[in-house]
Amino acid sequence: MGKPIEINTGVWLKDPKLSMCSPATRGIWFDMLCAMHELDRCGQLTGTYVQLGRISRCSSNECEMAVKELLNTKTADVTECNGIVTITNRRMNRAYEERNAVKLRVAEFRERQKRDSNVDGNTNVHETANPSELYIHISSNKSNSKILYDKENNMYRDSKHVFTIRCRRNICCRNKN
């Protein structure tokens, strides 16, 4: 069973570029879209006309005619070099690029969080409205500790640790003796 595909019928039916294509080309294009979705959802298919014909379930001649029609109507981006044809669905390719950009941003954020923490590599600091309280989540014990500010010693404390704040991002922790 394949991956579910979301089809916006309004876009499909109202696209003037696609409407200029013959019914055979629209059917081949739909098969190509399904193949793009099944492969990796990057919005591109690359191969010879024989290979693309197999993917889109038609002969190589029908595939070549459909690709030329898609190129002429500017329904798809088509490049051909040394007999290798690349067909790109702009919308699917844009969504693929956006997904990769989000994935990269999330990975960078997680790496930054990991690098910036100092207590077992797993501390997140959240300041509260009251500056005399600070909540630190230490994921090694999976509990939120309420930490109170000691004004005399300029330190934050809980029952097991003493935290010294050197700057907003630098928190040092040592066990109480």
Going from N- to C-terminal start, the domains of the chain cover 9-95, 123-175
pLDDT at 110: 86
Higher pLDDT: 174 or 161? It is 161
Q: Among 72, 177, 93, 164, which Cα is nearest to 125's?
A: 164
* Cα 71 to chain centroid, rounded: 29
pLDDT at 80: 95
Q: Are 19 and 69 in contact (CB under 8 A)?
A: no
- The CB density around residue 131, as the number of other CB atoms within 10 Å, is 8
pLDDT at 88: 97
Spatial strand order of the sheet with 84-88 comes to 44-47, 84-88, 77-81
Topology of domain 9-95 in CATH is Arc Repressor Mutant, subunit A (1.10.10)
pLDDT at 17: 94
* CA gap 60, 139 in Å, rounded: 58
Q: What is the torsion angle, in degrees rounded to the nearest 10, for the CA atoms of residue 101, residue 106, residue 109 and residue 115?
A: -120
pLDDT at 6: 83
Q: Among 149, 148, 151, 155, which Cα is nearest to 172's?
A: 155
pLDDT at 116: 72
Q: What is the torsion angle, in degrees rounded to the nearest 10, for the CA atoms of residue 33, residue 35, residue 41 and residue 42?
A: -80
Q: What 3-state DSSP class applies to 126?
A: strand
Q: Among 151, 24, 36, which Cα is nearest to 90's?
A: 36
Mean pLDDT of 47-52: 97
pLDDT at 47: 96
Given a cut of 50, is residue 148 above it in pLDDT? yes
* CA gap 125, 144 in Å, rounded: 11
* CA gap 47, 83 in Å, rounded: 8
Given a cut of 50, is residue 151 above it in pLDDT? yes
pLDDT digits (tens, 9 = 90+) for 88-147: 999 999 999 999 999 999 998 888 888 776 444 444 544 444 444 444 444 444 445 566
Q: Output the pTM of the full model.
A: 0.63
Q: Are 67 and 85 in contact (CB under 8 A)?
A: yes
Q: What is the band of 1 on the pLDDT scale with cuts at 50, 70, 90?
A: low
